[in-house]
Structure 1
């Protein structure tokens, strides 16, 4: 088999990253019919299925995963080469996409963006929110919960942290609490610490940043990473046994970007921000 239409691989990569034909089509700025046609053509050329329909999403087969891994490496290498060309241009700006949980952006990246502009004015940064660590996707750099296992990612410790139950300084624990959306695997993690909490929360919110906002405005207890809580929030650590769930944040990028000096400089800057924040 000859891969005459090697750019079909970008459709495999988009499907692997986004899970539906409509999402892949939006990312590729095309339509669902084109995505379907290109995937079917490549499946026919390979004489093997690339995706299996499960509910509303498509799950990559082993063959698609292998092709997506190859395309991911090419995509990252191409980004590096484009960055090198931009760095050598007098008017060139280097674009990097940094993905992280919203809480990380709120606590570290956003308050210090002026520093990055001063130290690396050639870098144009896009910040995207990514809570679940399902690979880099469209990002050049990702801050994620837990160290990645396997794959072709370089990993560096960002920081240790602990998840604790906090509440307003004037609040008395009465069983009410704030939880996260049911789409999160650990949406009720607070009840691992606060065992007398009601079975269901008083409020559910979509992101950890909203948990923080709700705890500070209502005083009700919520599970928060310690790096989010500031003295001006007027919050206290709940007087509960073993009120600490240790965890780690890691910063990752694709191994093909190891020699990308600008990307590594941004990784160094992010790690310094975490160390001094």
Structure 2
């Protein structure tokens, strides 16, 4: 016997209800699998199939745990109360949406500052219950550390959906007040303080940077005060009226930008919202 919503959404058997109930109760795929005598891979595969059949997100990953969505809670309640048979109709549309939720994203600081930050206000205003938790160090999508990752390199972790968002142009800049040639350079690094591959030409020309800093504003201020070069996204540099290209005929370098998320989150509304926002940020 199937369980059907008013719009024709169905779960076809009791085993699907037991599976949803187990994941909701135990919070992890492995614990649910142990309780049902199944493998974790089977649990994951069957949940994805149920979500696709219903065209509804059933669980959202929050760190190491899976939280049921309002759609899943309808079936959880049904599984807890069912006795001799299934009700013929379940109203998925009556479930209340989450009032508050957090989307966690990992991305380099320069991508955030130059491309995402200018449009983040509209995202938050249009979604009052939404909070963004953005990390500027590398976090794993595969292990659930973040919901979405943005990076310069194409991700190679397993079971990820990845696509190219676009590209960001970079160039070298000095202060408009500079007289003569620069004598060194400033490097903006991420929180992991890994050397950036964008400044290799400056490294060869000037040697080690005079300043390595995670703060863009601090680095730019130093460039205004000293005869130093800084490598910046052209979008960000265009808003700095006191910066100019160096040398004036230098060619812009373009770097690809990738987005990725776990394939189990294909129907996750928050992931979809974040991806739509990211695509909009690169629409220029």
State the TM-score, normalizing by the size of structure 2: 0.59
Q: CA deviation at 1:254?
A: 0.8
- Corresponding position of 2:199: 190
Task: Write the mapping of 1:234-245 to structure 2, written as runs, cut at 5 A.
Answer: 234-239=242-247, 243-245=251-253
**Structure 2 alignment gaps of length 5 or more:** 1-25, 32-40, 49-57, 72-92
Structure 1 residues 105-129: Cα deviation after superposition (integer angstroms, max 9, x where no partner): 2233333332112333332222222
Distance in 1, matches of 2:128 and 2:68, equals 14
Distance in 1, matches of 2:70 and 2:99, equals 8
Distance in 2, matches of 1:241 and 1:223, equals 15
- Corresponding position of 2:267: 259
Query: Which of 79, 82, 85 is the matching residue for 2:67?
Result: 82
Secondary structure class of the residue paired with 1:221: strand
More helix by share: 1
Size of the aligned set, in residue pairs, is 210
Secondary structure class of the residue paired with 1:228: helix
- Corresponding position of 1:97: 104
Q: CA deviation at 1:272?
A: 0.4
Distance in 1, matches of 2:277 and 2:198, equals 32
Distance in 1, matches of 2:129 and 2:27, equals 33
- Corresponding position of 2:283: 275
Which protein is bigger by CA-based radius of gyration? Answer: 2
Task: Write the mapping of 1:1-277 to structure 2, written as runs, cut at 5 A.
Answer: 78-79=60-61, 82=67, 84-85=69-70, 88-89=95-96, 92-130=99-137, 132=138, 135=141, 138-171=145-178, 172-180=180-188, 184-187=193-196, 189-193=198-202, 195-197=204-206, 199-206=207-214, 210-216=218-224, 218=226, 220-239=228-247, 243-276=251-284
> RMSD of the alignment, in Å?
4.0
Distance in 2, matches of 1:175 and 1:107, equals 26
Structure 1 residues 196-243: Cα deviation after superposition (integer angstroms, max 9, x where no partner): 32x232222235565445334545201222232133342122117764
State the TM-score, normalizing by the size of structure 1: 0.60
Judging changes above 3 Å, is the alpha-carbon distance between structure 1 residues 270 and 181 closer, same or farther for their aligned structure 2 residues? Answer: closer
- Corresponding position of 2:54: none
Distance in 1, matches of 2:256 and 2:273, equals 22
Judging changes above 3 Å, is the alpha-carbon distance between structure 1 residues 263 and 216 closer, same or farther for their aligned structure 2 residues? Answer: farther
* Residues 140 and 146 in structure 2, CA contact (< 8 A), matched pair in contact too: no
* Residues 181 and 227 in structure 2, CA contact (< 8 A), matched pair in contact too: no
- Which piece of structure 1 moves more, 241-250 or 142-151? 241-250
Distance in 2, matches of 1:227 and 1:108, equals 8
